[in-house]
Structure 1
Amino acid sequence: MAENKRFAKASWAIMAQLLKVDNLEEALSGSLEIIVKTLNSEAGAIWLLDPKTDRLSPVFHIGPADISNISVENGLGIEGIVTQTGKSVFVEDAATDTRFDGTVFDDNDLVTKTMICVPLNNTHDIIGCVQIVNKLDGTLYDEEEMQLCERMASLAAITIDEKGLTVDLEEKKEILATLRNITKEFQTGDTTLKVLKGINLDVYKNEFIVVLGESGCGKSTMMNIVGGMDFLTTGELTIEGKDFSHPSDDELTKFRRDYVGFIFQSYNLMPNLTALENVEFIAELAQNPMSSKEALAKVNMSQRENNYPGQMSGGQQQRVSIARAIVKRPKLILADEPTAALDYTTSIEVLHTIEDIVKTQGTTVMMITHNVEIAKMADRVVKVRNGKIASIKKNMHPLHAEDLIW
């Protein structure tokens, strides 16, 4: 009886999510979160079929594995079989199931043991599938749990059909940085504090990725490891295919100098230098910088090049900080709460500048923020919880900075 009530409550919650038609993507990802939580599962994904390529792509996924860059041929693997046949599938033991090829989650550091996979079937076509992986208590899924997934998938497919969410698979994005099983521990006296507990993430070239999470969840530590500001305890970090897990001092210096730009919440400008001099100071350290005047022009701060930080507003200082980050022509910019100290209007100006950097310079921007509204303009949204990746969502239609409201 209690189980029936739990499933009924989950069904109502899913219906409520899918009624949020003003933001279908949030409604779908929220529905997946409800299913994964209700079924006490390790991971889950919603796959949509691109009819032009006849391949499936995971538009939302939850769990420790990053499968963002994977696509599956329709008809192959569990996901393709379910989408092609329109029939739900139980996998009781992935190790012995001949339909399971292990290419999705297992290639991304999550061992699949059990699974439910159900079709997204609207009134006309099968448009994808919903996949739930591994009960945390090690038990098998049952028929009632399958029915709950089918109910959610049916509602989701109809809503997708009515509201017109489609998937258009691009070519695989080129990977800039790969994190595999990253852990980070701090020793305080006799106590070991585990901050990161097995991070798996790919960061792509020329993407805007937003990282969300509660204070203390490990998101800043993760970003600092990517940026060479901190060191992993165990695991593997690769940058453009090169192992960067334990760099030498010379490698680290060169990496931070030439490869990465930083934008901080507190601007970190030198108060005794003008805007131009602040940018020039960094440019002089770089191997192949753009001109400092050009960097200031890109953030619309040419008219303030002779002003000191104390003579500028917070937003103007932050734009100088961005100019200082881009002057090195970095491949990666790490931004830690860059709008937290700014008002709404100034925040939008700064976000517009960051958006323009991604579009016009081909730079990857990885931003930490507590402002969930900013996540709507990202290519992907990564949620960190308790030292692990909790979910990754691909924004099908990212907003422009000027469209954000909070």
Structure 2
Amino acid sequence: MAGKGDNISVLWKIMQALDEEQVENGISEAMETLLKSIEAESAAVWIKNPENKHIYCIVSVGEDNLTGFSIEYGQGLVGEACDSTEMTSVSDAANDERFPAGKDEVSGIEMKNVVFVPMTLRKETVGCIEIINRAKSGEFSDEDKYIMHSLAGLIPMVIEEKGYNYAAQTEKKVIMSLRGVKKDYPSGMDVVHILKGVDLDVYENELLVILGESGCGKSTLLNIIGGMDSLTEGSITVDGKDFSHPTEKELVDFRRDSIGFIFQSYNLMPNLTALENVRFIAEICKNPGDPEEAIAKVGLTDRAGNYPSMMSGGQQQRVSIARAIVKNPRIILADEPTAALDFTTGQEVLVLIEELIASSKTSVVMVTHNVEIAKMANRVVRVRNGKISSIRINSWPMKAADIVW
């Protein structure tokens, strides 16, 4: 904690750091000085990009790393802080519903407490500073608040003066758009509202991970994207054309030609070999790939003649992936694809999914409970109580081989 006698010294160190020619390095040094002064574990600087309506983490210091993550305007606590002029704090994240199991919903960081200090420039909020896990409980001292607010005022001035611009992602083609999507199910004399107004785009060539607790509506959302369930209210467009209420034939064609499926339980036909499982799917598709090539891509050429009962869970899941990719689909839906697998085998499956996205225009929409897997996603969607509570963009996804859980 900075006392009255040394807060001037702390501010002087911060100002010296911000004089660094390389903007991110200077901000990083200034943030490290702040962390040491207020005795916190980690901190991040978020800036708003008005061009694409996203908020980017440009600097992250301390024990946890948030650099590369992004959220849409107004989403989550970061979004709220970047629209406010007042400091926002959560003193007990473990008992706050915005932090499932006491963790940040995307990064998996264990949250004890967190503080957001808005950064303003000419009376406009342009971003915020996030301070994670302060060691001491209770309110910040006036000296600590003075240092935090001073740094929050200095950073946007430095960014503007030095002409720093965050290089945002290139916009991707939208395959599917959901707007105001609701899904109700009858339950006796009542109606259960599963989805309560979902807005979501699925982009070409991305990994979109959907997180959420059991019963939140994420599997229902996946089923609607895949044409396995119909919406009650709202609209869906595919390649800009309305697909809200397709005919039965349109649904069959869509599922057959545009959607691949990877299930937790594999869903292989037990009386067919690995190659025959893949060939069966290829024979009913409009524009299939070569079944033997699909089997080779998942590393099972030597197991092509084996029946599912002769293969391990990981090998069966590889066949499931081969069966999905042989269709050359626009979107592959993956429902907890690693849940039934051990860590090593699960990681191998994730590497295959990563390679698939890198080598084609196919998108993968994955439902999972595993927050760690979200680190390899291009975007992460959190579903809570039938609504999307946050969407975050990871500008630098982790490699699947580096993920540990």
Q: How far is 1:152 from its partner?
A: 11
Partner of 1:251: 250
The change in CA–CA distance for 1:396 and 1:263 in structure 2 (over 3 A counts) is same
Counterpart mapping for 1:272-287 below 5 A = 272-287=271-286
Give secondary structure in 2 for the equivalent of 1:373: helix
Partner of 2:397: 398
Counterpart mapping for 1:48-127 below 5 A = 48-49=48-49, 57-58=54-55, 59-61=70-72, 118-119=118-119
Deviations 1:348-386 (A, max 9, x none): 000000000111012100000000000000001100000
Give unpaired runs (5+ residues) of structure 1.
1-14, 29-45, 69-78, 90-116, 132-146
Deviations 1:11-40 (A, max 9, x none): xxxx8999554xx7xx67xxxxxxxxxxxx
The change in CA–CA distance for 1:64 and 1:47 in structure 2 (over 3 A counts) is closer
The change in CA–CA distance for 1:157 and 1:318 in structure 2 (over 3 A counts) is farther
The change in CA–CA distance for 1:18 and 1:157 in structure 2 (over 3 A counts) is farther
Counterpart mapping for 1:118-157 below 5 A = 118-119=118-119, 128-130=126-128, 151=149, 154=152
Return the alpha-carbon distance in structure 1 between the equivalents of residues 372 and 165 of structure 2. Answer: 22
* Aligned length in residues: 301
Give unpaired runs (5+ residues) of structure 2.
1-34, 56-69, 87-116, 130-144
Partner of 1:311: 310
Return the alpha-carbon distance in structure 2 between the equivalents of residues 18 and 253 of structure 1. Answer: 59
Q: TM-score, normalised by structure 2?
A: 0.66
Question: What value does the CA root-mean-square deviation take over the aligned residues?
Answer: 3.7
Partner of 2:201: 202
- Asked if the contact 2:373/2:403 (under 8 Å) is kept, the reply is yes
- Asked if the contact 2:85/2:125 (under 8 Å) is kept, the reply is no
- Asked if the contact 2:169/2:395 (under 8 Å) is kept, the reply is no
Partner of 2:178: 179
Return the alpha-carbon distance in structure 1 between the equivalents of residues 312 and 189 of structure 2. Answer: 46
Give secondary structure in 2 for the equivalent of 1:269: coil
- Asked if the contact 1:120/1:153 (under 8 Å) is kept, the reply is no
Counterpart mapping for 1:311-390 below 5 A = 311-390=310-389
Return the alpha-carbon distance in structure 2 between the equivalents of residues 298 and 120 of structure 1. Answer: 51
Q: How far is 1:129 from its partner?
A: 2.3
Amino acid at match of 2:152: S
Give secondary structure in 2 for the equivalent of 1:374: helix
- Asked if the contact 1:185/1:195 (under 8 Å) is kept, the reply is yes
Give secondary structure in 2 for the equivalent of 1:184: strand
- Asked if the contact 2:270/2:309 (under 8 Å) is kept, the reply is yes
Counterpart mapping for 1:28-47 below 5 A = 47=47
Amino acid at match of 2:382: K
* Larger Cα-atom Rg: 2
Return the alpha-carbon distance in structure 2 between the equivalents of residues 363 and 152 of structure 1. Answer: 47
Structure 1 consecutive aligned stretches of length 4 or more whose deviation exceeds 4 Å: 15-21, 62-65, 150-153, 155-158
Q: How far is 1:170 from its partner?
A: 3.0
Q: How far is 1:169 from its partner?
A: 1.6
